[in-house]
Amino acid sequence: MKEKRKGMLLVISGPSGAGKGTLVSRLLDKDPTFCFSVSVTTRERRENEIEDVHYHFISDEEYDKLLAEDAFIEHASVHGHRYGTLKNEVYERMERGQNVLLDIDPQGAKTVMAKEKECVSVFILPPSYHDLKVRLHTRNTENEEEIQRRLNNAKGEIQQMNKYRYLIVNDDLELAFDQLMAVVRAEKQNSVRYIPEIEE
């Protein structure tokens, strides 16, 4: 039997502090068929972040140039910073049959889901707003004003969860990861991207 696979576009989204990053890292470690699409951003690089691994950190001028060239599959201003996903990062890889993972904010996810009807969208939820607040304080990457802004944004983002194909509550990391892997395994067999050829 021969088989052909088209690349999957997996969109993972959710409010800041829901644990998307941890789940994304584990998925990329566990499943070598996935590659991570590195977004561009105009925000400052955090201490633990690596250029061209976590983001392409660019200036506002460079961002404006990419915008004028229609280089983004999606772009958004989030928490006072600008982010975008480059078309060539996504489409070239999918053409080669690679699965592409986008870890993007709900605003950007909405744009991708509208354009890419076959994308697999997963929204990661915190078990409570209290947990979200604790997680944002624990990671020590934002000041108090930024944390408050992210918490306020989270309420509106969570109200949009029914726009996604799958929902995962990240209360227990192992369980949440198992659920994410179950989604991935099922979607790999979806007839929109899996084409087996049965011989005579």
Query: Could you report the per-residue pLDDT of 151-182, keeping only the tens digit for each?
Result: 888 888 999 999 999 999 999 999 999 999 99
* pLDDT computed for residue 108 by the predictor: 84
Once rounded to an integer, what is the mean pLDDT over residues 32-36?
92
Which residues make beta-bridge pairs with 154? none
Is the CATH number of domain 2-192 3.40.50.620? no
Confidence of residue 55 (pLDDT cuts 50, 70, 90): confident
Residue 103, strand partner residues: 12
Name the 3-class secondary structure at 83: strand
**pTM (whole model) above 0.85:** no
**pLDDT above 90 covers what percent of the chain?**
46
Cα-atom radius of gyration of the chain, to the nearest Å? Answer: 17
pLDDT of residue 170: 95
The rounded distance, in Å, linking the Cα atoms of 7 and 5 is 6
**Which amino acid belongs to residue 69?**
E
For the chain, give the percent of residues with pLDDT over 70. 98
Helices then strands, counting H and E runs in the chain, come out as 7, 11
Give 4's pLDDT tier (boundaries 50, 70, 90).
confident
Task: Give pLDDT tens digits for 128-144.
Answer: 888 888 877 777 667 78
SS3 for 56?
Answer: strand
Distance of alpha carbon 174 from alpha carbon 168, whole angstroms: 12
